Amino acid sequence: MIVEERNYTLKPGKAGEFMALYQKKGLQIQTRILGNLIGYFLSEIGDLNVAVHLWGYESLEERTRRRGLLIQEQVWRDYIAAVTPLIDRMSNRILLPTAFSPIH
């Protein structure tokens, strides 16, 4: 298993609006297509206004396939257009489990 960590640094004062839009328009389609939502978080200490979400996949190929299906959905593209102005910076990482990780 691999884990994708996605981080969105939101513009100051926009975290509530971002989360409300995600719950209303993004969550259902993303979980339906991507599948394994491990967690969705909002930073409290350190870098503030950072939405962090973790997604599990069996492989990089599965991630590529599922994300390709997601971008084909008009509902998802509409959601992206609505939230992009709320985001200041985006980053993501692919995390590989260690031999002793409980997730592997």
Q: Round the CA-based radius of gyration of the chain to a whole number and report it.
A: 14
- 48-62, pLDDT tens digit by residue? 999 999 999 999 999
Q: Which residues is 24 bridged to in the sheet?
A: none
Alpha-carbon distance 6 to 40, whole Å?
10
Report the amino acid identity of residue 33.
I
pTM for this prediction: 0.92
Supply the DSSP symbol for 104.
-
Q: How many CB atoms lie within 10 A of CB 16?
A: 11
- 50-103, pLDDT tens digit by residue? 999 999 999 999 999 999 999 999 999 999 999 999 999 999 999 999 999 998
Alpha-carbon distance 9 to 41, whole Å?
12
